[in-house]
Structure 1
Amino acid sequence: MDAKDRQIIRALQRDGRMTNQDLAEAVNLSPSPCLRRVRNLEAKGVIQGYSAEVDAAAYGLAITVFVRVKLERHNEEEVQKFEKRVRLIDEVLECHVMTGAMDYQLRVLVPDLEAYENFIRNQIHPIGGIASIDTSFVYGTVKRTAVFPLAH
Structure 2
Amino acid sequence: MDSLDREILFHLRQDGRLTNVELAKRVGLTPPPCLRRVKRLEDAGIITGYRARIDPAAAGRGFDVVVSLEISVNDLRTVEELETAISSYDEVVEFHRLFGRPDYLLRVAVEDQEAFETFLTTRIMGLRAVARVDSHLIMKKIKTDD
Residues 2-151 of structure 1: pairs in structure 2 closer than 5 A: 2-145=2-145
- TM superposition score normalised by structure 2: 0.95
SS at structure 2 position matched to 1:64:
strand
Write out per-residue CA displacement over residues 30-81 of structure 1, whole angstroms, 9 at most, x where no aligned residue: 1101001111111222111111111101111120000000010222112111
Instruction: Number of aligned residue pairs: give it.
Output: 146
Q: Which amino acid aligns with 1:116?
A: F
Q: Which amino acid aligns with 2:3?
A: A
- TM superposition score normalised by structure 1: 0.91
- Post-superposition shift, 1:126? 2.2
Give runs of ≥4 in structure 1 deviating > 6 Å: none
- Post-superposition shift, 1:144? 2.0
CA RMSD of aligned residues (A): 1.2
Q: Which amino acid aligns with 1:28?
A: G
**C-alpha distance in 1, partners of 2:100/2:24?**
44
**C-alpha distance in 2, partners of 1:139/1:58?**
18
Asked if the contact 1:66/1:106 (under 8 Å) is kept, the reply is yes
**C-alpha distance in 2, partners of 1:136/1:49?**
30
- Post-superposition shift, 1:100? 3.2
- Post-superposition shift, 1:145? 3.4
Q: Give identity over the alignment, percent.
A: 40
SS at structure 2 position matched to 1:127:
coil
SS at structure 1 position matched to 2:24:
helix
**Greater alpha carbon shift after TM alignment, 135-144 vs 10-19:** 135-144
Return 5+ residue gaps in structure 1 as ranges.
147-152
Write out per-residue CA displacement over residues 11-30 of structure 1, whole angstroms, 9 at most, x where no aligned residue: 00001111101101111111
**C-alpha distance in 1, partners of 2:52/2:91?**
18
SS at structure 1 position matched to 2:131:
strand
